[in-house]
């Protein structure tokens, strides 16, 4: 656990900062029970989970890829935002932020697609009767959303938000196959999720490897202006997000890292808080989130 002196020094920096960003990765949602599919836990059934997150995998094996994302959707639907989600959500409320970082702006740039940050924010903005900021935005989901259904037909590309469980009847129950070690179900294409507009095959609305993340021009502008970057629950291995903290640092800004374990890129941080981010982040920000949990 970092010392009280470290927390106090960070809070003094926070109070002086005017353009604050946070870059969040899978570690932010780990305490909510969301699998990271990285490192030793990077396998789903007998498959490399990262190999399934490609346009090529979907084109060749749409049934298998949809089972993987159905499994992830079901896990996310059962999960609840944790204290770190709520701390970032409270930092997004101008009336709260002005007490700890006067006259500042804040944007969370998340690589997560699990909808937990939006759910936390919705609860917080309702509780405080606040309006979500739009300039700059309080949240950017750069890798898309797990609950978006996007048409796979290039001429259509219709996208709609869908939290149905299951997303289609043919996928119902396939999430338990991993527990029973059964054979993968080979679901016909016509029974997989369909576009709500043209009825062609739909795909998960996430950014796959080899695709361009969302809102990059806006993110680049925020990075250029930022004087404080919070790095939360990310191993800084997936670009372009992996380079954002270094860009802020190169521009003269400060970097604070909140990670369960220290990684090589963390050594250049001005502040390094090693431990569960759901414990360290609220304490570092000086925010009480206990009334929001449960």
- How many beta carbons lie within 10 A of that of residue 157, not counting itself? 12
Catalytic-role residue among 70, 143, 158, 215: 143
Q: What are phi and psi of 142, to 5 degrees?
A: -70, -20
User: What are the angstrom distances between the C-alpha of 183 and each of 45, 46, 69, 179?
Assistant: 10, 10, 17, 11
**Location of structure tokens 């870059």:** 23
Rg of the chain in Å (alpha carbons):
20
Residue 215 known to be catalytic: no
Locate 62 and state its tokens: 């749409």
DSSP H or E segment with residue 79: none
In angstroms, the CA 78 to CA 89 distance is: 20
CA-angle at 160, arms to 159 and 164, nearest 5°: 140
- Can you name the residues that pair with 159 across neighbouring β-strands? 150
Is there a contact between 206 and 145 (Cβ–Cβ < 8 Å)?
A: yes
CA-angle at 38, arms to 32 and 41, nearest 5°: 75
**Location of structure tokens 């059934």:** 45
Q: Which of 288, 263, 204 is nearest to 25 (CA)?
A: 263
Active centre residues (catalytic): 143
């Amino acid at each position: 656990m970092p010392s009280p002196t470290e927390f106090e020094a960070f809070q003094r920096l926070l109070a002086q900062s005017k353009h604050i960003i946070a870059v969040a990765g899978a570690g932010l949602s780990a305490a909510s029970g969301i699998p990271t599919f990285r490192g030793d836990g990077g396998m789903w059934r007998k498959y490399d989970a990262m190999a399934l997150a490609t346009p090529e995998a979907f084109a060749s094996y749409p049934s298998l890829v949809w089972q993987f994302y159905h499994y992830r959707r079901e896990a996310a639907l059962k999960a609840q935002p944790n204290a770190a989600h709520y701390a970032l959500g409270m930092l997004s409320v101008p009336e709260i932020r002005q007490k700890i970082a006067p006259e500042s702006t804040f944007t969370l740039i998340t690589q997560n697609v699990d909808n937990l940050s939006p759910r936390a924010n919705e609860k917080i903005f309702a509780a405080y009767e606040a309006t979500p900021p739009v300039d700059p935005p309080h949240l950017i989901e750069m890798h898309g959303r797990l609950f978006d259904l996007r048409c796979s037909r290039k001429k259509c590309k219709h996208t709609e938000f869908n939290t149905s469980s299951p997303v289609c009847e043919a996928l119902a129950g396939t999430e338990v196959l991993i527990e029973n070690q059964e054979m993968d179900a080979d679901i016909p294409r016509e029974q997989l999720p369909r576009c709500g507009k043209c009825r062609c095959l739909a795909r998960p609305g996430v950014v796959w490897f080899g695709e361009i993340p969302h809102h990059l021009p806006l993110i680049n502008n925020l990075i250029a202006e930022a004087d404080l970057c919070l790095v939360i629950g990310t191993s800084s291995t997936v670009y372009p997000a992996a380079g954002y903290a270094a860009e802020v640092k190169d521009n003269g800004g400060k970097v604070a890292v909140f990670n369960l374990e220290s990684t090589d890129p963390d050594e250049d941080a001005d502040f390094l808080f090693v431990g569960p981010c759901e414990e360290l982040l609220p304490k570092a920000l000086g925010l009480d989130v206990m009334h929001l949990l449960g």
